[in-house]
Structure 1
Amino acid sequence: MTVNTFMKTSYSADDVIFLLKDLSDIELEKDTFAREQLIQQGVHYSTMLPKEFQPSEAYIELFHKTLAQYSKRIADAVAVVAEMIVAHKSIDRVVLVSLARAGTPIGILIKRYLEQKYKRTVPHYAISIVRDRGIDEVAIRYMLAQHPEAELQFVDGWTGKGAITRELTEACKGLKQQGIELDDTLAVLADPGHCSSMYGTRDDFLIPSACLNSTVSGLVSRTVLNDDWIHEGDFHGAKYYAHLVDQDVSNLYIDTIAQHFSETTPDDLTTEPVTWLGMQSVERIQKKFNIQNTHHIKPGVGETTRVLLRRVPWKILVNPAHDADLQHIYMLAEERGVPVEVYTDMSYSCCGLIKELTE
């Protein structure tokens, strides 16, 4: 496959190349309620986009406050997961493959860490994977054509129930049948779901890049897999939101965290086994609240934030022991009039429950 131009983003091409088809001129956004109705009626979420959340001034202030508060903690976790990659892959052959969009800032941070610590410039791409519809095989083949000896390392931001972890494993099984052998290990910054063996931390705390949407992700939308616009041989799609450039904090986010890399000392790379502990919490929540569809249970700080930003929430469950990490959750819930309920029988700090809409 020949690509003459890559999708425009607010990140430098030195940090990441997005292997996505530019759909910026196509109207794909639907308001939150209409989109939720369609999803619950069986329309796949990847065929459309949510309207971008426009944060209040108070919320933007909270983002900057939490970024300052957590930047060193995130840098430490980046260093740990980056060192795990080095321990399992040849640094001269590794290619970082971020799962757009939550994985992209983390992939950039890992790339920056490796450049600073090991003086190696590691290729980094962002590609699409879609729950229930698989990974972008066109993008996989493109990367392998560019880097024939590559050891691909998939990267994401955090785990929730582990749906993308399982999707990646299934995708790699399918590719193996086509003669493409890939390591399906997913490197994540935070693994509160206990479903990845390569992680920076298992603490369920706020990763500030979960607070916002495109304005902390290179001004790139969620990825799109819509047959009206994505044809055979195309990458999965996305949009570039040029009109939000004045609100963009994508590079500020990266630079603020990366400045702490010289302070990190990731000596202990011991990991706990994959137990899927998070799914046990989800099963208890499903039974306790009589929820029919587990897709309506979104555990962890990152997923709960997404529920509040672009879904129709029913209620938010919180563990008060983690209140210090949940201030943006409380703010978003209050702004949207979403009830918050104390619930401690879970391995997560919080959990977002999506409202079941009746037709």
Structure 2
Amino acid sequence: MADAPAKMGSYPASDVTFLLKDLSVISIEKSTDERESLIQSGTHYSEMLPVEYKPTEEYMNLFYASLEESKRKVAEAVGTVAEQIVQKRGLHTVLCSLARAGTPIGVLIKRYIEFKYEAALPHYSISIIRDRGIDENALHYILRHHPGDSLAFIDGWTGKGAITKELMRSLDGFYQAFGTRLSSELAVLADPGYCSSLFGTREDFLIPSACLNSTVSGLVSRTVLNGKWIGKEDFHGAKFYENLLAEDVSNLFVDTIAAEFPAVETKAAETAALLLEQREEPDWRGLTSVRNIQHDFGIDNANFIKPGVGETTRVLLRRVPWKILIQPGSRTRLTHILLLAEDRGVPVEEYTDMSYSCCGLIRPVGRGK
């Protein structure tokens, strides 16, 4: 069983341990068009990686602008989530972020708990892959090294709730196979899909870390599960893009948000207490929105629908977009979406029947405009 985490990523070791197999020396990247074609013809997305490009000046400007604009809002949401984790789980808890969008948020939650409670909780980043499940070897590693502790799973935001459901399925299977019951409650910074009960906000806004890829996530790639390189006893894999160190803003992002913690501490604690008292359960209205879009636009595969600001941003950065849907009246809040859509020549349409600010639609291979 895997028992030696690779030293990877640009975060300090005190912030996070990546339970991932280092595949940095393997060429596994495909161009956007080639990857899209392979995915739509049946190759699982986790068997390859998109090409990791150096961020353009335009994208970096977008990141810096969004960071400055939203740093306090993000800090408050981080504090709200962290306070709920502590109140529900206590300080004998292992933070377990889902690589890679969850990693910066996990680092921030760890930092907030250190700031507020002077407790250094262990924090690991592990892989979960849609339709293929969570990395069980990583779970075994954590359970061996932290017997008796609670595990708190963390992600950045929700879209359709696919990862939420994958976590539920995976942990149910883990219990059936090994007799260990783990809570599948997923803590997220933003829950516009209304599919989490532990969230910082349900507002659909741009979290700055969604603007970039590895350069805001510790220079670590998306996770890989390909039998050519990942054995039965290995952790899921990832690459460390050390060649992008000069462009890395992972620690700048964390440090900028963490500097706001003293200003939001009181409000975050109040909001967390209110949410714990109200116990707002998920109603999965985001999934209803996706079904509406499927019907109205004749889309067979729900995986071609990427709802919410974060997912829409990623469609425009990584995939082959067909069109972007936005809520009427939201243009001033979606400047970066409109900028990226214009840059790629992607049409933008107003659409009211969804719970999100915006939604990205992926072009099915062979489909015209």
User: Normalised by the size of structure 2, how large is the TM-score?
Assistant: 0.95
| 1:236 matched to 2:236 | yes
State the shift of 1:2 in Å.
5.6
Q: Alignment partner for residue 319 of structure 2, among 311, 315, 336? A: 311
Q: Using the alignment, how far apart are the partners of 2:241 and 2:310 within structure 1?
A: 22
Map of 1:258-337 to 2, 5 A cutoff? 258-264=258-264, 265=266, 266=268, 267-269=270-272, 270=275, 271-337=279-345
Give a deviation string over 1:221-252, Cα, whole Å, max 9, x none.
00000000000110000000011111100000
SS of 1:228's equivalent?
coil
Which runs of structure 2 are paired with 1:7-22 in the superposition (5 Å)?
7-22=7-22
Residues 1:196 and 2:196 are matched in the alignment: yes
Q: Determine the C-alpha separation between the residues in 1 that align with 2:225 and 2:155.
A: 19
Shift in Å, 1:335? 1.3
Provide the residue aligned with 1:87 in structure 2: 87
Partner residue, 2:165: 166
Q: Distance in 1 between matches of 2:94 and 2:49?
A: 29
Deviates more, 1:46-55 or 1:28-37: 46-55
Q: Where in structure 2 are the equivalents of 1:139-218 lying within 5 Å?
A: 139-177=138-176, 178-218=178-218
Deviation at 1:8, TM superposition (A): 1.2
Say whether the 8 Å CA contact 2:5–2:20 is kept in structure 1.
Answer: no
After the TM superposition, list the runs of 4 or more consecutive aligned residues in structure 1 that deviate by more than 3 angstroms: 1-5
Deviation at 1:5, TM superposition (A): 4.8
CA distance, structure 2, for counterparts of residue 204 and residue 172 of structure 1:
28
CA distance in 1, matches of 2:145, 2:258: 28
CA contact (8 A) 1:59 1:331 kept: no
C-alpha contact 2:2 2:235 (8 A) present in aligned 1 = no
Q: Please give the alpha-carbon distance, in whole angstroms, between the structure 2 residues aligned to 1:175 and 1:12.
A: 31
Give the match's secondary structure for 2:329: helix
Aligned: 1:346 with 2:354 = yes
1:174-231 deviation per Cα after TM superposition (whole angstroms, max 9, x unaligned): 1111211100000000000000000000000000000000000000000000000000
The residue type equivalent to 1:128 in the other structure is S
Question: Which SS does the other structure have where 1:182 is aligned?
Answer: coil
1:58 and 1:291 mapped to 2: Cα distance? 32
For residues 236 and 2 of structure 1, the distance between their equivalents in structure 2, rounded to whole angstroms, comes to 10
Checking the alignment, whether the CA contact within 8 Å between 2:5 and 2:21 is kept in structure 1 is no
1:317-349 Cα deviation digits (max 9, x unpaired): 111433333122111111111111111221101
Q: Which residue identity is paired with 1:246?
A: A
Task: Say whether the 8 Å CA contact 1:7–1:20 is kept in structure 2.
Answer: no
Shift of 1:144: 0.5
- % of aligned pairs identical? 60
| Structure 1 residues without counterparts, runs of 5 or longer | none
Matched residues in 2 for 1:302 and 1:53: separation?
19
Deviates further, 45-54 or 250-259: 45-54
Deviations 1:106-159 (A, max 9, x none): 000000000000000000000000000000000000000000111000000000
8 Å contact kept, 2:98–2:153: yes
Change (3 A) 1:320 1:245: farther
Looking at structure 2, the residues matched to 272 and 327 of structure 1 have their Cα atoms a distance apart, in angstroms, of: 31
Of 261-270 and 305-314, more deviation after overlay is shown by: 261-270
Three-state SS of the structure 1 residue aligned to 2:3 is: coil
Deviation track 1:15-44 (CA, whole Å, cap 9, x = no partner) reads: 000000000000010000110000000100
Q: TM-score scaled to structure 1, two decimals?
A: 0.98
> What secondary structure sits across from 1:282 in the alignment?
helix
Whether the aligned pair in 1 keeps the contact of 2:5 and 2:18 (CA below 8 Å) is no
2:116 alignment counterpart:
117
1:128 partner SS: strand
- What's the RMSD between the two structures over aligned residues? 1.2
**Equivalence for 1:224:** 224
Give 5+ residue unaligned stretches, structure 2: none
| Length, aligned pairs only | 358
For 1:126 and 1:322, the matched residues in 2 are separated by 34
C-alpha distance in 1 between matches for 2:181 and 2:359:
36
Q: Per-residue deviation at 1:3? A: 3.3
